[in-house]
Amino acid sequence: MEVPILKQGLYLIASIQSALTDADLSALREALIERVGKYRARGVIVDVTALDVMDSFAVRTLRDIAHMARLRGAETVIVGIQPEVAFAMVQLGLTLKGVSTALDLEEGLAYLDRQGQERLERVRGRVTRG
Amino acid sequence: MAAKGKDPQAPSPLDPQAQSESTAALLRELVAHLRQNRTQLREEWARRITRAQLLTAMTEEEIFAEATSVYDNYVEALETGTFEALQAYARNLSERIIPRGVETHEVVGIVLLLRDVLARSLFGKYHEDFDKLNRILDAYEPAANRVANTVAVGFVQERERIIRQQQEAIRELSTPVLQVRERLLILPIIGVIDPQRARQLTEQLLRAIRTNRAKVVVIDITGVAAMDSNVANHLVQTVEASRLLGATVIVTGLSPEIAQTLVTIGVDLSEMATVGDLQGGIEEAERLLGYKVVPLEEPVPKP
């Protein structure tokens, strides 16, 4: 099943609607990374609200997406992890280290906005100091 | 006597149906005897309960009143062979006497006493006809044992039910997740954390994070006396799981002893934000949420 990727301003939103096979996940990774460049996106949100299982491959793919997107200039947030899924993940030791997470889509967008703001201020600071 | 008339046709042991009929007849005779001597046997039983120093939590009148009810229920169970009424009564009795501190051995003790008192009265009645006494006892003993069993099991079950209920109540009381500000939760942990409780705690916290849309959680462990690597790992897991839901966790109230233990056993707490006390934790959380608490201005004294 293909995951729809929506463009929303500077951000890309991938909303996973049902359980995905490993191949689907890899396809999602390729598509997202390609579109980050194509749309010059500054942020990526992956919404996993509909997932009630998260295995090690899914977690690794999400981490890869975050790291690869960062190299392409976009910040990634994973949103909508269910409480039960979160609990199962930490018990299995799958903790998505180094990847930002947020409660839901709204929070994720707010987080990316804040990140953008901070980056802007850092750049401005550098300019004035220079 | 009716039973005596039946004696000559006493069945051979090889005929089970006839034998059970004769058992029923013997039980009928037995019940008639117990009904006849109700007052005297009840008094004897109550006396022996007092002498054995059972049910010390109850007054003599209460013991006699309960003894009467138990006696009647006992006889009825012997007569009808059904134990539902007795079972219900035993549960009801247990419910009344457990809060007063009556112990299992006392309940078992009084039921066995009743069994002895009744058996003794049977010896007295049939001591001249040894054969008949034997047959009466054959009929009486299995029924009496079942009665004793029913009452004792009823008592223990009721006790276990109460214990389970209390455990549940303690569990629920002990893990309150409180909202102190918009999007800020505190979770004070008090007492011992075992794996089951840690799991329940985490689940409750995660659910609360989602329903309250919390961004910051302060976990206060001032009330946790000791911590081993298991508990520490549970704590780390809780912090990680909360982060997956987008909430930051601040742990407060680590006592010097716990800090020392954690460092000594080498638990990795580098991922965890810790602040000395609950006040500091809440202040830190407010900073993270962008709150600023300022005192109201002092009213300027008029010149």
Q: Do A86 and B213 touch (CB under 8 A)?
A: no
Nearest alpha carbon to residue B140 among B154, B156, B126: B126
- Tell me the β-bridge partners of B274: B251
CA distances B69 to B65, B142, B172, Å, are 7, 21, 38
Nearest alpha carbon to residue B235 among A104, B215, B243: B243
- Mean pLDDT along residues B51-61: 82
A101–chain B nearest CA distance, Å: 5
The CATH number of whichever domain residue A68 belongs to comes to 3.30.750.24
- Mean pLDDT along residues B256-269: 82
Residues 6+ apart with CB under 8 A from B88: none
- Tell me the β-bridge partners of A102: A79
- Tell me the β-bridge partners of A46: A14, A78
- Tell me the β-bridge partners of B220: B188, B252
Looking at the structure of chain A, the number of domains it has is 1
Nearest residue, CB atoms, B245 vs list A81, A95, A111: A81
Residue B232 has a pLDDT of 85
Nearest residue, CB atoms, B245 vs list A83, A95, A111: A83
Q: Do B202 and A87 touch (CB under 8 A)?
A: yes
Write the burial class of residue B59 (CB in 10 Å: 0-12 exposed, 13-18 middle, 19+ buried).
exposed
Residues 6+ apart with CB under 8 A from A65: A28, A29, A32, A33, A44, A46, A76
Predicted confidence (pLDDT) per residue in B124-151, tens digit: 888 888 888 888 888 888 888 888 888 8
SS3 A12: strand
Q: What's the distance, CA A105 to chain centroid?
A: 11
pLDDT at residue B268 tops 80: no
Predicted confidence (pLDDT) per residue in A45-91, tens digit: 999 999 988 999 999 999 999 999 999 889 999 999 999 999 999 98
Residue B142 has a pLDDT of 83
Residue B179 has a pLDDT of 92
pLDDT at residue B155 tops 70: yes
Q: What's the distance, CA B140 to chain centroid?
A: 33
Nearest alpha carbon to residue A73 among A102, A119, A48, A42: A42
Residue B3 has a pLDDT of 43
- Tell me the β-bridge partners of B273: B250
- Tell me the β-bridge partners of A47: A15, A79
What mean pLDDT, rounded, does chain A reach? Answer: 90
pLDDT at residue A11 tops 90: yes
Q: Are A69 and A44 in contact (CB under 8 A)?
A: yes
Question: Beta strands B216-223 and B184-190: pairing type?
Answer: parallel
Residue B293 has a pLDDT of 84
What mean pLDDT, rounded, does chain B reach? Answer: 83
pTM of the model: 0.60
- Amino acid at residue number B228: D
Residue B303 has a pLDDT of 65
Which positions in chain B touch A87 (Cβ < 8 Å)? 199, 202-203, 206, 241
Percent of chain A with pLDDT over 90: 68
Residue A104 has a pLDDT of 92
Confidence band, pLDDT 50/70/90 cuts, at residue B286: very high
Question: Kind and range of the H or E element at B180?
Answer: strand B178-181
- Give CA–CA dist A65/A99, Å, rounded: 10
Range of the domain at A78: 5-129
Which positions in chain B touch A78 (Cβ < 8 Å)? 244
Predicted confidence (pLDDT) per residue in B173-230, tens digit: 667 889 999 999 999 988 878 788 888 888 889 999 999 999 999 999 988 888 888 8
pLDDT at residue B7 tops 60: no
For chains A and B, count residue pairs whose Cβ atoms are closer than 8 Å. 52
- Mean pLDDT along residues A116-125: 85
Q: Which of B245, B248, B271 to mutate to test the interface with A (most CBs of A within 10 A)?
A: B245
Q: Do A87 and B210 touch (CB under 8 A)?
A: no
Nearest residue, CB atoms, A103 vs list B207, B213, B238: B213
Question: Kind and range of the H or E element at A13?
Answer: strand A11-15
Residue B10 has a pLDDT of 46
A residues 9..68 contacting B (CB < 8 A) = none
